[in-house]
Structure 1
Amino acid sequence: MDKLLKFVVSAALFLFGIVSILLLTVSIREMREPPQYMYGVVLDAGSSHTALYIYRWPADKLNGTGVVTQHSECHVEGGGISSYAGQRGAAAHSLEACLKQAMRDIPPERHHRTPVYLGATAGMRLLKMTNPDKASQILQEVKQKIRSFPFNFRGAVILSGQEEGVYGWVTVNYLLENFIKYGYVGRWLNSGRKTVGALDLGGASTQISFETPETVENELNSMTLRLYGQEYSLYTHSYLCYGREEALRQMLAYLVESQGNTSKVYHPCYPSDFTDVFKLEQVFDSPCTASKRPEPYNPHSWISVEGTGDYQSCLGNTSNIFSFQFCPFSQCSFNGVFQPNISGGFMAFSAYFFTHSFLQQSTGINIRTSAQLEEATQAVCNMTIEEMTKKAPDLKKYLKDYCAVAVYIQVLMLRGYNFDEHSFQNVAFQKKAAEASVGWALGYILSVSSLLPEEPAGIRKGLCPAAWIGLLILLTVLLTATFCYMALLVIRRKRSNEGVS
């Protein structure tokens, strides 16, 4: 009987073992692990300041382009890198604090895989025109500084105006989910929406970019992009010297020239209770105003500026920094630049947003139409500095320029770009969208992320559920039988010992 029991148990254990081994040979499935994140850093070296943006996206990409979100941002103290021309090492040193912040914001194990790009815009474009050696020195210094950090430095370049405009357009439409959207099925899908145009007003240049069904007569204004498996053909143009700061400088230079006085000038765009003094070099030491230098010219001479707060005179004088007469194409915006008809919606950001926000805050007018823009602008131009300060005390250092900038935007949009009462209502003035800053940097990282290699997704081997359950049951039975058998042997041995004694 004992021999039979031992044989049955041994045979059962042997059979269970064989079946378990056979179950392990059942066809298995490959299970994809959730992808890790890749990070990218873009330094937006603008004419007036530098900002560092950190982006991240899944390591396995969608149709060749990363699905990117903004992780964090850091604003560099001081002016733009072009403002440090002639100050050895100063531009590079200004970036240190934000680069250290990037090291804290990005996981240490991803530092060596994180690409870093620096893109300089119109401020450096102007410096390169006037002093290429100083521009090159600044770029070399910032390159050396970024390389001293444990990131994957990919380069520091001066972007063309067209690139700046197009990358801004990419940012706007990505944040509005006009390329892709997150569907109810739990994955990203092509949205099928129409794109919107982008209006960017920086310190030294302004850009306009939009899709158009019309023929672009000047190939310099045409660009094609491929994003998320689709191609987009755009019209884009960047107007150097027509950013906020350079436009203000052009207005002042025109007033000095037209009034013929290098000691005192009356400024119709400044509030009537405002006076200030400038050195001539602050007005004329720019490629944008050099042609209007008075003769004789002493850059260190002082000029007094007195505001008159005259909206109509401001409008007329501001219009004179544009040229609307010459056009070598079928139609133009200004300065002989081809532009097709405005179509679709637009997002206006950077200085557009801040000026629009101030106009609404100071006048109480909800600006939705071009007529309301003109009404609010005229109301601000009729205010004194004292009145403005009461309405916006936190903006005191900018108050003197708001009338001038608002009139400039009015002329630029309504006469330059030809927005009418209907198309102006399709313009949204925004600083952020989807919790991310609007500008060219996100569009840039989206474009270059298509050039970055994907990381292979982690693969695990997995049994199908039926085989797994069967194996689990057999192993459970095997362990239970083994335990019972061992317990039986112990009990029998005890009884045997008792019988002997």
Structure 2
Amino acid sequence: MYEGAETVRELLKVAKESIPPTHWEKTPVVLKATAGLRLLPEEKSQALLSEVKEIFEESPFLVPDESVSIMNGTYEGILAWITINFLTARLHNTNRGPVGTLDLGGASTQITFLPQSQNTVLEAPENYLSSFEMFNRTYRLYTHSYLGFGLKVARLAVLGALDRHEKGHIYSSSCLPKGTRATWMFGGSTYRYGGDEKGVTGFQTCYSEVAKVVRGNLHQPEEIASSTFYAFSYYYDRAVDTGLIDNERGGVIEVKDFERKAKEVCNNLTNYKRASPFLCMDLSYITALLKEGFGFHEDSIIRLSKKVNNVEASWALGATFHLLQSLKSQH
């Protein structure tokens, strides 16, 4: 039995405690897996999904068609955009237009916004523009999910472990504290890593390593540098870890604030070794992703939120709206 499937069983117990029994058979249960499962071998991912489907079928809740599936990366970005703009009352606001969203997971990263410039529409790569209907309106969004550019996969890329996984090999980087020797599990594999004993540490050398991962690999719409974006997931977590924002309230920062913290951590690695040996690498990668990858300016403003109006800022609420809309259209 997969641990993930067992976790779903526990969540269903919570649902049964929260929802009156008279409503169980009318309450749909759905699981949407994201990039982490997309990276697993298909045999493993499908086995896990099958177990979750069985648990759903055993429950007293309504199980719609395709209730358990791996979500397309594009929809992940769109649904997060719907969530944020609904919660901030910007979807139908003529005075304050919709905001963009940035999501950084372990395996992928998403960017979604409503283009205001015709150049963005004309210059967008194929499949970066997507029409989506919600609340009786159709939105033509710029949205793309970059699989392989999430924070944890980026670590493997920086370490040189993405293309070759040699058992027993110690992967090193100038982003890691000297003297570090540890193991790290990701995607079902165990990696040994450590600091570069003979090399130079510090922000400049680390940044040059992580910038190679993103430079030239992401599309850069010109208008985003001056647009308002909400960011969450690992953007939020690393900002909290370094005191840039409050854990509960979030905050508003500029891109250069991530760079400032990256320099502070990377140039004093021994002081931050206990917090996380990857902190320097993560902050440098976020800085490079925003600047070198997406093309934000140093003074571009990013709003970091975990919750808006006490609702989690993620794709989940948007997915709920989409589900209810599809169920309504079937009846």
* TM-score normalized with structure 1 length: 0.57
Which residue pairs with 1:271 in the alignment?
177
Q: Residue 96 of structure 1: CA displacement? A: 1.4
Distance 1:344 1:248 in 2: 29
Tell me the equivalent position of 2:61: 151
- Give the alignment partner of residue 255 of structure 2, picking from 370, 389, 392: 370
Q: CA RMSD in A?
A: 3.0
Q: Secondary structure at the match of 2:277?
A: helix
Distance 2:75 2:37 in 1: 14
Q: Give per-residue Cα distances to partners, 1:42-73, cap 9 Å, x unaligned.
A: xxxxxxxxxxxxxxxxxxxxxxxxxxxxxxxx
Aligned-pair CA distance for 1:254 = 6.2
Q: Which residue of 1 aligns with 2:295?
A: 418
Secondary structure in structure 1 of the residue aligned to 2:289: helix
1:352 maps onto 2:235 in alignment: yes
Match of 2:143 in 1: 236
Task: Give the alignment of 1:181-330 within 5 angstroms.
Answer: 193-213=96-116, 214=118, 215-216=121-122, 217-253=124-160, 263-272=169-178, 274-278=179-183, 303=192, 305-306=194-195, 309-324=201-216
Q: Distance in 2 between matches of 1:310 and 1:367?
A: 27
- Aligned pairs, how many? 313
Q: Assess, with a 3 A threshold, how the Cα gap between structure 1 residues 191 and 228 changes in structure 2: closer, same or farther.
A: farther
For the 8 Å contact 1:346–1:428, the answer to whether it is kept is yes
Q: Which runs of 5+ in 1 are unaligned?
A: 1-87, 181-189, 287-298, 325-333, 390-395, 457-501
Other structure's SS at 1:95 match: helix
The change in CA–CA distance for 1:351 and 1:376 in structure 2 (over 3 A counts) is: same
Displacement of 1:452 after TM fit?
A: 2.7
Percentage of matched positions with identical amino acids: 29
| Alignment CA distance shift 1:435-1:338 (3 Å) | same
Q: Is the 8 A contact 2:215 2:293 kept in 1?
A: no
* CA distance, structure 1, for counterparts of residue 60 and residue 222 of structure 2: 46
Gaps of 5+ in 2: 246-250
Note if contact 1:255-1:265 (Cα within 8 Å) is conserved in structure 2.
no
After superposition, residues 439-478 of structure 1 pair within 5 angstroms as: 439-453=314-328
Q: Find the structure with the greater CA-based Rg.
A: 1
| Deviation of the 1:264 alpha carbon | 4.6
Q: Equivalents in 2 of 1:93, 1:255: separation in Å? A: 30
Cα distance between partner residues in 2 of 1:410 and 1:169: 22
Question: Whole-Å Cα distance in 2 between the matches of residues 145 and 254 of structure 1?
Answer: 36
Say whether the 8 Å CA contact 2:128–2:142 is kept in structure 1. Answer: yes
Distance verdict in 2 for CA 1:263–1:451, change over 3 Å: closer
Change (3 A) 1:209 1:123: same
The answer to whether the 8 A contact 1:123-1:204 is kept is yes
Does the aligned pair in 1 maintain the 2:252–2:303 contact within 8 Å?
Answer: no
Distance 1:143 1:428 in 2: 37
Which SS does the other structure have where 1:269 is aligned?
coil
Give me the whole-angstrom Cα distance separating, in 2, the residues matched to 1:236 and 1:202: 16
**Structure 1 residues 367 and 255 mapped into 2: Cα distance closer, same or farther (>3 Å)?**
farther
Which SS does the other structure have where 2:63 is aligned?
strand
Shift of 1:323: 4.2
Residues in 2 aligned to 1:256 and 1:444: alpha-carbon distance in whole angstroms: 34
**Are 1:175 and 2:87 counterparts?**
yes
CA contact (8 A) 2:291 2:297 kept: yes
Cα distance between partner residues in 2 of 1:177 and 1:126:
35
In the alignment, the residues of structure 2 paired with residue 445 and residue 167 of structure 1 have an alpha-carbon distance, to the nearest angstrom, of 9
Note if contact 1:208-1:237 (Cα within 8 Å) is conserved in structure 2. Answer: yes
Q: Does 1:165 align with 2:77?
A: yes
Query: 1:18-97 to 2 correspondence within 5 Å?
Result: 88-97=1-10
Residues 252 and 304 in structure 2, CA contact (< 8 A), matched pair in contact too = no
Residues of 1 paired with 2:161 and 2:209: CA distance?
A: 8
8 Å CA contact 1:168–1:440 kept in 2: the answer is: yes
Contact 2:151 2:282 in 1 (8 A): yes
- The 8 Å contact of residues 359 and 376 in structure 1, kept in 2 or not, is answered as yes
Q: Tell me the residue number matched to 1:388.
A: 272
Q: CA deviation at 1:347?
A: 0.2
1-structure distance, mates of 2:215, 2:272: 32
User: 3-state DSSP class of the match of 1:178?
Assistant: coil
1:209 aligned partner, one-letter code: T
Q: Could you say which residue in structure 1 is the equivalent of 2:248?
A: none
Aligned residue number for residue 474 of structure 1: none
Tell me how far apart the structure 2 counterparts of residues 304 and 207 of structure 1 sit (CA, whole Å). 28
- 2:52 matched to which residue of 1? 142
Partner Cα separation in structure 1 for residue 291 and residue 193 of structure 2: 32
Distance 1:276 1:199 in 2: 33
